Amino acid sequence: MGPVCTALTESPPPALSRVASQFEEHLEHRLARLALPEALLEAVQYAMLGGGKRLRPVLLMLSCRAVGGADADALGPAAAIELIHAFSLVHDDLPAMDNDRLRRGRPTLHVHAGEAMAILAGDAMMSLAFELVLESPGALGRGDAGHLVRELSQATTAMIAGQVYDTLGGFPPELSDRERLDLIHHSKTGAIIRAACRMGAICGGAAPDQLRILSRYGEAIGLMFQIVDDVLDVTQTTEHLGKSAGKDQSAGKLTFPGLIGVEASRQEVARLRSAAGGALEPLGEAAWPLRELADYMAMRTR
Ligand code: IPE
Ligand code: IPE
Ligand code: MG
Ligand code: MG
Ligand code: MG
């Protein structure tokens, strides 16, 4: 099956892979220093170090760079956002949620370590995130710690609300299916992606207009990202994705391909990709890597 969008390549460009590797190295060392009981540390490491594209930390680091910030100020918050993301996956896969047994090409954490440990490791990942988000000397020095915590906390709450809509419903009254779908996707996935961009900007000491630009970019790629995820669920195989494909329809999920079809979903991806690129224009060359990342996020096949 082809990628969701046309042109370019489906693998991450080398410049982005370098940022991801830099993050990976930081993450591995930082997790090894956590003071946790052995079995809990093993579970957290299993959930955090078993592959994953690292899109949110890379977004955070590139957003920091785009406003002239230093990587040393972004690495801690980047680990924090990946902790929240991986926690959301661990709980998303639980039997009471999506009931998935495969994630990142391996057994899910509850299959590997049991359901109680998966619940507790997810809890710990959430609280650890709020410790690591403070590991940004520049942001702390500028008095921006509270701002970072608020971004992470509001996005995490939005993600959880989105998971409630996705899993249990309970929408505000009188929303059309399309409005419900936008609400689910902006909440369960978009909020964390937008926060990654905003937190990167804050780490880099962004001016208010730079923060607004990166917010707009983050909002567009956040929705785009989940549309691509929905399309891949119906167009790719489990082997290729490393997580179970074809499950959204059988689970009765409200998805873009389910509601508007695969072709119209692809057009929506193209529209959001160009909106994201357009939002970045005022930042000039400094934002080129973010544009490249949006292209890859539209093009990815896993
Ligand atoms: C999967 O996210 C969950 C969604 C929000 C759709 P990713 O596709 O970024 O998962 P990893 O981190 O690469 O495994
Ligand atoms: C998951 O959406 C969103 C979050 C984890 C918050 P999905 O349920 O579609 O993600 P996958 O397809 O299992 O990765
Ligand atoms: Mg889900
Ligand atoms: Mg799922
Ligand atoms: Mg999915």
Ligand 1 atom, smallest distance to 55 CA: 9
Q: What is the best residue among 89, 92, 99, 159 to mutate for testing ligand 2's pocket, by most ligand atoms within 8 Å of CB?
A: 92
Whether the model clears a pTM of 0.75, i.e. scores above it, the answer is yes
Residue 192 CA: nearest ligand 2 atom is 6
Task: Tell me the CA–centroid distance for residue 229 and ligand 4, in Å.
Answer: 10
Paired residues of 106 in beta bridges: 103
Q: What is the pLDDT of residue 3?
A: 56
> For residue 53, which atom of ligand 1 is closest to its CA?
13
- Which residue, 244, 91, 253, 90, is CA-closest to 185? 253
Q: Which amino acid is at 110?
A: H
Atom of ligand 1 nearest to the CA of 85: 12
Cα 245 to ligand 5 centroid, rounded to whole Å: 8
Mean pLDDT over all residues of the chain? 96
Alpha-carbon dihedral of residues 248, 252, 256, 259, nearest 10 degrees? 150
Ramachandran quadrant class, 54 (left: phi over 0; alpha: psi -120 to 50; beta: rest): left
**Cβ–Cβ contacts within 10 Å for residue 174, how many?**
6
Of residues 9 and 139, more confidently modeled = 139
pLDDT digits (tens, 9 = 90+) for 263-275: 999 999 999 999 9
Asked if pLDDT for residue 137 goes beyond 50, the answer is yes
Tens-place pLDDT, residues 142-153: 999 999 999 999
In the beta sheet, which residues pair with residue 189? none
> In this predicted structure, what is the pLDDT of residue 11?
80
Backbone angles phi, psi at 275, to 5 degrees: -65, -40
Q: What pLDDT shows up at residue 12?
A: 87
Half-sphere exposure of 52 (CA within 13 A, CB side): 24
Cβ atoms of 1 and 236 within 8 Å: the answer is yes
DSSP state of 284: G
Segment 11-32 shows an average pLDDT of 94
Q: Is the CB of residue 82 less than 8 Å from the CB of residue 27?
A: yes
Nearest CA to ligand 2 atom 8: 92
Helices (H), the chain: 14-32, 38-49, 55-66, 75-92, 109-113, 115-132, 137-141, 145-168, 177-185, 191-203, 208-235, 238-241, 247-250, 256-260, 262-280, 288-299
Index of the ligand 1 atom closest to the CA of residue 300:
8
**Chain-centre distance of CA 76, in angstroms?**
16
**Which ligand lies nearest to the CA atom of residue 162 in the structure?**
2
Neighbours of 244 (CB within 10 A): 19
Q: What is the pLDDT of residue 180?
A: 98
Could you give the C-alpha distances from 215 to 104, 137, 149, in angstroms and in order? 28, 23, 16
Rounded CA separation 222/137 (Å): 28
User: Is the separation of the CB atoms in 71 and 58 below 8 Å?
Assistant: no
pLDDT digits (tens, 9 = 90+) for 57-102: 999 999 999 999 999 999 999 999 999 999 999 999 999 999 999 9
Is 161:142 a contact under the CB 8 Å cutoff?
no
Nearest ligand (C-alpha, residue 89): 2
Q: Which of 91, 275, 285, 293 is nearest to 196 (CA)?
A: 293
Distance CA 219, CA 202 (A): 16
Ligand 2 neighbourhood includes 139 CB (under 6 angstroms): no
* Ligand 1 pocket test, candidate residues 84, 85, 92, most atoms within 8 A of CB: 85
Residue whose Cα lies nearest atom 10 of ligand 1: it is 52
Determine contact, residues 300/52, Cβ cutoff 8 Å.
Answer: no
How far apart, in Å, do the first and last CA atoms of the chain sit?
A: 11
Taking the centre of ligand 1 as the mean of its atom positions, its distance from the CA of residue 174, in whole angstroms, is 30
| Cβ–Cβ under 8 Å, residues 221 and 193 | yes
pLDDT-derived band at 4, boundaries 50, 70, 90: low
Give me the mean pLDDT over the 138-161 stretch: 98
